[in-house]
């Protein structure tokens, strides 16, 4: 096979030497042909044989080869493709046309091609292959990266391949889907990440050869519990005082401990440093709102002097533990007996610790910081759980 190739090439060289007189009309301008990857390229080579008409009666006396200069491989000889690549063919529909056709162009086809006529003259073409952008997965942040701890810096990365080199835009979205371009570089650093850091990002790569490509990122940010206490009333206002006087004529009082934390972990109430258990007149409920917002509610029925004391709500997760306390004092005058005053301490108080099982993040839920009032209004949306207090643990 090689020998065969060698023979035709050398016979070709001989004809080079032989022919000298009738120079064909030959367009020798250097052309650049641009083709998008996957498409078909047509490299024109036009050899006019007007002189030959007389002598050869339509038989073209000239021989043409196409070669690729980068690796000097010969692609076609006369009217045949000879390099074994089925994508390559010679279009010789008319006597003076010797066009090279390459189907299903790939990036390696880029380079310099030469249509050579056996008189020694040639035409050179540059084949420029355009490649639409494509995200380089190994260098680009994954769509759902592992959780990021608050206080750390996080780098969002986005790299794309393409020809010409794609331009990158990194966009962030706030809770209401307002987009903002935050970078035109491949990487953007989010400093000192916190619960307030935006979670949703998108990277778009474009290079004027469509389609543009995009990659979305959804960050999960872990932060220590932040909590507020509220006494249920018309307003649901946050308690600003650490001391609260309760009129014992009230049928029941409700304390709400609102907690934001990620991951969700433990929340519990204590009274005077003892864990509270549910009994006939004390109930604890936990409601989970959205993903990272919980309300642990404490209901005390028929508040009496026995119930006076310091109530503390504590929330903890791997990033920290936080507590808030309120002192409840009964203001009613007459009927309370002094015998019950020590009952709260002698009672065998046991753990009623609530452990909220971690739920799988719903795919498209956005982790956002909605104001507490908004959460409050959505009370009905999510499930309500009753604390199961495990006695004597």
Ligand X SMILES: *[C@@H]1O[C@H](CO)[C@@H](O)[C@H](O)[C@H]1NC(C)=O
By the criterion CB under 6 A, which residues form the site for ligand X? 68, 70-71, 73, 83, 85, 108-112, 151-153, 191-192, 194
For the CB of residue 303, give the shortest distance to ligand X in the complex, in Å. 38
Measured from the CB atom, the residue of 154 and 173 that comes closer to ligand X is 154
Tell me if 114 sits within 8 A of 20, measured CB to CB. no
Element (H, E) at 88: strand 88-91
Measured from the CB atom, the residue of 41 and 328 that comes closer to ligand X is 41
For the CB of residue 9, give the shortest distance to ligand X in the complex, in Å. 15
- Sequence-distant (6+) residues with CB within 8 A of 359 are 264, 288, 291
What sign results for the dihedral spanned by CA atoms 97, 103, 107, 108?
negative
Measured from the CB atom, the residue of 86 and 211 that comes closer to ligand X is 86
Residue position matching structure tokens 């008189």? 119
- The dihedrals phi and psi of 196, each to the nearest 5 degrees, come to -90, -10
For the CB of residue 241, give the shortest distance to ligand X in the complex, in Å. 26
For the CB of residue 71, give the shortest distance to ligand X in the complex, in Å. 4
Measured from the CB atom, the residue of 73 and 331 that comes closer to ligand X is 73
| Strand boundaries in 234-389, DSSP class E | 243-246, 252-262, 266-271, 274-275, 282-289, 293-301, 309-317, 320-330, 354-355, 384-386
Measured from the CB atom, the residue of 106 and 237 that comes closer to ligand X is 106
For the CB of residue 108, give the shortest distance to ligand X in the complex, in Å. 6
Measured from the CB atom, the residue of 129 and 246 that comes closer to ligand X is 129
H, E, C per residue of 319-345: CEEEEEEEEEEECCCCCCCHHHHHHHH
For the CB of residue 66, give the shortest distance to ligand X in the complex, in Å. 10
């Amino acid at each position: 096979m090689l020998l065969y190739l060698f023979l035709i090439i050398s016979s070709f060289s001989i004809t080079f030497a032989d022919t000298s007189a009738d120079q064909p009309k030959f367009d020798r301008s250097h052309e650049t042909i641009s083709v998008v990857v996957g498409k078909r390229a047509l490299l024109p080579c036009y050899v006019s044989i007007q002189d030959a008409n007389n002598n050869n009666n339509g038989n073209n006396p000239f021989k043409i080869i196409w070669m690729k200069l980068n690796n000097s491989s010969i692609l076609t000889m006369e009217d045949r493709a000879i390099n074994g690549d089925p994508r390559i063919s010679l279009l010789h529909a008319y006597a003076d046309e010797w066009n090279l056709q390459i189907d299903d162009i790939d990036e390696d086809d880029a380079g310099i091609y030469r249509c050579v006529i056996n008189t020694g003259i040639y035409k050179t073409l540059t084949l420029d292959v355009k490649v639409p952008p494509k995200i380089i997965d190994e260098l680009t942040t994954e769509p759902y990266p592992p959780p990021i701890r608050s206080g750390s810096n996080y780098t969002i990365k986005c790299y794309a391949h393409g020809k010409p080199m794609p331009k990158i835009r990194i966009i962030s979205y706030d809770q209401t889907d307002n987009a903002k371009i935050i970078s035109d570089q491949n990487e953007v650093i989010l400093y000192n990440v916190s619960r307030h850091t935006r979670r949703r990002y998108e990277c778009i790569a474009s290079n004027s050869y469509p389609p543009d490509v995009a990659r979305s990122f959804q960050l999960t940010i872990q932060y220590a519990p932040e909590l507020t206490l509220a006494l249920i009333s018309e307003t649901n206002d946050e308690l600003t005082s650490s001391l609260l006087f309760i009129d014992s004529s009230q049928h029941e009082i409700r304390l709400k401990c609102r907690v934001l934390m990620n991951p969700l972990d433990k929340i519990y109430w204590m009274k005077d440093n003892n864990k509270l258990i549910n009994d006939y007149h004390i109930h604890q409920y936990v409601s989970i709102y959205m993903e990272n917002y919980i309300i642990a509610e404490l209901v005390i029925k028929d508040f009496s002097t026995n119930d006076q004391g310091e109530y503390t709500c504590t929330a903890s997760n791997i990033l920290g533990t936080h507590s808030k306390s309120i002192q409840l004092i009964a203001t009613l005058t007459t009927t309370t007996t002094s015998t019950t005053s020590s009952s709260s301490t002698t009672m065998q108080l046991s753990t009623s610790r609530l452990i909220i099982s971690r739920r799988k993040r719903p795919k498209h839920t956005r982790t956002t910081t909605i104001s507490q009032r908004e959460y409050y209004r959505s009370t009905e949306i999510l499930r309500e759980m009753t604390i199961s207090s495990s006695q004597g643990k």
